């Protein structure tokens, strides 16, 4: 018997809808839903342990996986099962985590797991746009202590019209691709890429998405009410002591305020704050610290945060002594690494990124193999954040989710500025060498310069900046901080990163921690970010004003040639023999792709020496050489035969044709060597396909003057040969009669 199913439907317009269903699947989970749009189905389950973990943070895991069976496909690779998550899956996990995490109580420390699985795929529906909705809907059906329903929606703009959750085809035509996460009251997360849009256009897109999210939040509440809203679970809250909190605040506030106002460096400031904390702890006995040591640390952190925020709101000063709109000192350098195809250093304050660029063929493209999307990237960026960049020693356990997310943001910022006709596959790698505030934006800046240093003809240079916000709802005061430090990221109300050219925004990532942030403040923050971006952009262009005209001498040059389909096989040769020998002889890399539309061959030739590239081009020209009937061509003798000479077209080396002995001269030629020899160069006339021999015919004598008194030989007489050939039928050979005349074979006698 199928259990009772509860369902809510959300209308997206234009005949599209999203349904949220519960009651049929995964009923032992604390909450489970199936979210469906078209044929796309996501199953989301949530579970949270009832026992608090012995940690001082929320151990929340958001897991998003796409099942290959959902698209009727097998996993690639040797082992035919889903393994580690792809970068695309990791990015979706981060999108959901960033919105959910702030809505759990700060003292809730139970192990919590949100699992979202793509169970059925639809080419017209992008599943990541529904992952946040699925997660929140499942939590709404649970007994978790969770503040309010949220949802996420993608917004695009095609022909000036905003679209909620566009299809992948619509997204190809869109100049905006933004994911917005919000509750019914507040926008909490924004991430996406844009085609140089203005700050006002970005704000309008956020507003449009928020209106759709409000409807999705209402549907979740309606479903929970119909299903039967569970009572919020009881959990053991953190220990609190109001008197102790006030005591620590009074002891720490003024001292912290003074250190913060001094404008010291990261390490000096950290050491001073640590000394204040130790002085406070020294006022307690060992027995007291054993009992309340955790509370002392907790209340000190609160006092430190309050003092630093008040300094900024009251005096407009920041931890390192800057004003709110001031950018840290910047220095840059290009062509730092002698063997890379392009390199650049970008240093801003205590943050430093070293970017490298590598150029290759389409063979080096980044292959994407997900159930929801198959394709390749000809431009991609990787971001590495080693522990020494923050003065720490810790083991490296592969690429972290943070590294994937920051690299993706920088990639989205730059990729729109790489021209469509760039022949190379381009890989950018950012090595973060120092970090104290927005290494991802340093990656964008160093990446821009490295690309220009490599000779990639960027349409426009791109810069990026990380911004912060400190606000006080009671007084109405707020301060927008340009180029934030790591500490300011932690203590602020908003962390947003914006990248763009001089003409508009290309990418953004925002995490908004304060409820009910007004759009007026958001626009002001974006405009201040624009001023900061332009300041940083000026520093980049002072270092390298435009892309280098050509790639470096040791970097590979790329030439692309299109050839008709029928010549692809000749260029490859039997078993790849021709192309392999050609690559070896010319020291080049040759890649042949077939255009899916025209079916022509697209030949990519990559080599450091122009001579080798020219040799490959000459070979291609030779293969495609087609002589015209009646035209005269220069040829060279490459082989001597008894009945003629094999000659090679000088314009097409490798293209050979037989020059018959009868076409060497008007006079009768007894020996070929009487007229031509190996290596001789002369002209011949092309006559096309000879009707008698069915082979190509060329003639040397045709372009020579006839000797005086020359008489052409009369055509040979037929002498009835044709008739004799006609009578060669089997019936006229008399074979049957001869067989009749034969004596029967005698059996061989046995000995």
Select 330-469+519-543's CATH number: 3.30.413.10, 3.40.50.300, 2.40.10.120, 3.30.230.70. 3.30.230.70
Residues annotated within the binding site for Mg(2+) are 489, 495
- As a whole number of angstroms, the distance between CA 744 and CA 734 comes to 18
State how far the Cα of 205 lies from the Cα of 182, in Å rounded to an integer. Answer: 13
pLDDT at residue number 444: 97
The secondary structure of the chain in percent helix, strand, coil, rounded to multiples of 5, reads: 35, 30, 35
- Give the C-alpha distances (Å, rounded to integers) separating 633 from 107, 675, 696: 88, 18, 14
DSSP letter, residue 335: S
Q: Please answer whether residues 39 and 122 qualify as being in contact, where contact means their C-beta atoms are separated by less than 8 angstroms.
A: yes
- Report pLDDT for 735: 46
Give the whole-angstrom CA distance, residue 619 versus residue 584: 14
CATH superfamily of 631-703: Nucleic acid-binding proteins (2.40.50.140)
**Cα 158 from Cα 175, distance rounded (Å):** 7
What is the pLDDT, as a whole number, of residue 13? 85
* Sign of the Cα pseudo-torsion (97, 98, 103, 108, in order): positive
Q: What is the pLDDT of residue 719?
A: 54
The pLDDT, as a whole number, for residue 569 is 87
Domain pair 6-227 / 330-469+519-543, same fold: yes
pLDDT value for 738:
45
Per-residue pLDDT tens over the stretch 13-26: 888 999 999 999 99
Can you give 389-419 as a three-state secondary structure string?
A: HHCCCCCCCCCCHHHHHHHHHHHHHHHCCCC
Please tell me the predicted confidence (pLDDT) of residue 67.
93
The binding site comprises 489, 495
CATH class of 557-624: alpha beta
- Nearest to 117, CA basis, from 176, 188, 155, 62: 62
Sequence spans of domains, the chain? 6-227, 242-315, 330-469+519-543, 557-624, 631-703
Q: Identify the segments of the chain with pLDDT beneath 70.
A: 712-751
The topology (CATH level 3) of 6-227 is: Ribosomal Protein S5; domain 2 (3.30.230)
Q: What is the pLDDT of residues 95-153, one digit of tens each?
A: 999 999 999 999 999 999 999 999 999 999 999 999 999 999 999 999 999 999 999 99
pLDDT at 737 (0 to 100): 47
Residues pairing with 20 in the sheet: 8, 35
pLDDT for res 732? 46
- Please give the model's pTM, rounded to 2 decimal places: 0.84
Contact 565, 601 (CB under 8 A): yes
pLDDT of residue 492: 84
What pLDDT, on a 0 to 100 scale, did the predictor assign at position 749?
A: 43
């Amino acid at each position: 018997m199928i259990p009772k199913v509860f369902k809510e439907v959300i209308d997206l317009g234009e005949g599209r809808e999203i349904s949220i269903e519960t009651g049929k699947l995964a009923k032992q989970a604390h909450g489970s839903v199936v979210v469906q749009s078209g044929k796309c189905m996501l199953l989301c389950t949530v579970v949270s342990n009832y026992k608090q973990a012995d940690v001082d943070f929320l151990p929340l895991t958001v897991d998003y996986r796409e099942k290959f069976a959902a698209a009727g496909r097998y996993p690639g690779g040797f082992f035919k099962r889903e393994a580690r998550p792809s970068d695309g899956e990791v990015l979706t996990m981060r999108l959901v985590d960033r919105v959910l995490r702030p809505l759990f109580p700060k003292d809730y420390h139970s192990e919590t797991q949100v699992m979202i699985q793509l169970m059925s795929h639809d080419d017209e529906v992008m599943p990541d746009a529904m992952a946040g909705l699925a997660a929140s809907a499942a939590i709404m059906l649970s007994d978790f202590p969770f503040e309010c329903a949220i949802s996420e929606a993608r917004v695009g703009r095609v022909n000036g019209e905003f679209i909620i959750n566009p299809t992948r085809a619509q997204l190809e035509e869109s100049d905006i691709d933004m994911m917005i996460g919000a509750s019914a009251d507040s926008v909490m997360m924004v991430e996406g890429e844009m085609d140089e849009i203005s700050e006002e256009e970005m704000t309008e897109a956020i507003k449009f998405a928020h209106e759709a999210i409000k409807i999705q939040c209402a549907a979740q509440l309606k479903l929970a009410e119909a299903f039967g809203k569970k009572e919020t679970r009881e959990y053991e809250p953190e220990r609190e002591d109001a008197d102790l909190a006030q005591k620590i605040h009074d002891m720490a506030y003024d001292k912290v305020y003074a250190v913060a106002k001094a404008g010291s460096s990261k390490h000096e400031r950290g050491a001073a704050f640590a000394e204040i904390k130790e002085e406070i702890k020294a006022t307690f006995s060992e027995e007291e610290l054993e009992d309340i040591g955790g509370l002392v640390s907790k209340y000190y952190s609160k006092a430190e945060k309050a003092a630093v925020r008040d300094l900024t709101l009251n005096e407009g000063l920041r931890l390192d002594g800057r004003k709110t709109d001031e950018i840290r000192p910047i220095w840059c350098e290009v062509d730092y690494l002698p063997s890379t195809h392009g390199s650049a250093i970008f240093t801003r304050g205590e943050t430093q990124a070293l970017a490298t660029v590598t150029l290759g063929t389409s063979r080096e493209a980044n292959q994407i193999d997900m159930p929801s999307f198959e394709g390749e990237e000809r431009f991609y960026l990787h971001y590495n954040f080693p522990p020494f960049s923050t003065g720490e020693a810790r083991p490296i356990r592969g690429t972290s989710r943070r590294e994937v997310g920051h690299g993706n943001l920088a990639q989205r910022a730059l990729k729109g500025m790489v021209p469509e006709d760039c022949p190379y596959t381009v890989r950018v790698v950012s090595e973060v060498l120092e970090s104290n505030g927005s290494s991802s934006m340093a990656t964008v800046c160093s990446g821009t310069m490295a690309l220009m240093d490599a000779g990639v003809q960027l349409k426009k240079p791109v810069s990026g900046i990380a911004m912060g916000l400190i606000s006080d709802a009671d007084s109405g005061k707020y301060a927008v901080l340009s180029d934030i430090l790591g500490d300011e990221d932690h203590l602020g109300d908003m962390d947003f990163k914006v990248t763009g050219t001089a003409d508009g925004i290309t990418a953004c990532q925002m995490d908004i921690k304060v409820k009910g942030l007004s759009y007026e403040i958001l626009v002001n923050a974006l405009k201040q970010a624009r001023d900061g971006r332009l300041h940083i952009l000026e520093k980049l262009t002072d270092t390298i004003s435009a892309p280098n005209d050509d790639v470096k001498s040791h970097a590979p040059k790329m030439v692309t040639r299109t050839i008709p389909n029928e010549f692809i096989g000749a260029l490859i040769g039997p078993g790849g023999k021709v192309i392999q020998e050609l690559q070896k002889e010319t020291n080049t890399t040759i890649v042949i792709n077939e255009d899916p539309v025209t079916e022509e061959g697209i030949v990519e030739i990559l080599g450091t020496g122009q001579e080798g590239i020219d040799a490959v081009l000459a070979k291609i020209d030779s293969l495609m050489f087609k002589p015209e009937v009646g035209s005269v061509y220069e040829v060279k003798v490459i082989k001597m035969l008894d009945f003629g000479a094999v000659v090679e077209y000088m314009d097409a080396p490798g293209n050979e044709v037989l020059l018959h002995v009868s076409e060497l001269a008007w006079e009768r030629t007894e020996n070929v060597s009487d007229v031509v020899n190996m290596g001789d160069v002369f002209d011949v006339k092309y006559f096309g396909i000879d009707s008698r021999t069915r082979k190509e015919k060329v003639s040397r004598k045709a372009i020579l003057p006839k000797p005086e008194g020359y008489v052409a030989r009369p055509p040979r007489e037929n002498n009835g040969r044709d008739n004799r050939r006609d009578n060669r039928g089997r019936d006229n050979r008399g074979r049957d009669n001869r067989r009749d005349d034969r004596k029967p074979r005698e059996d061989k006698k046995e000995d």
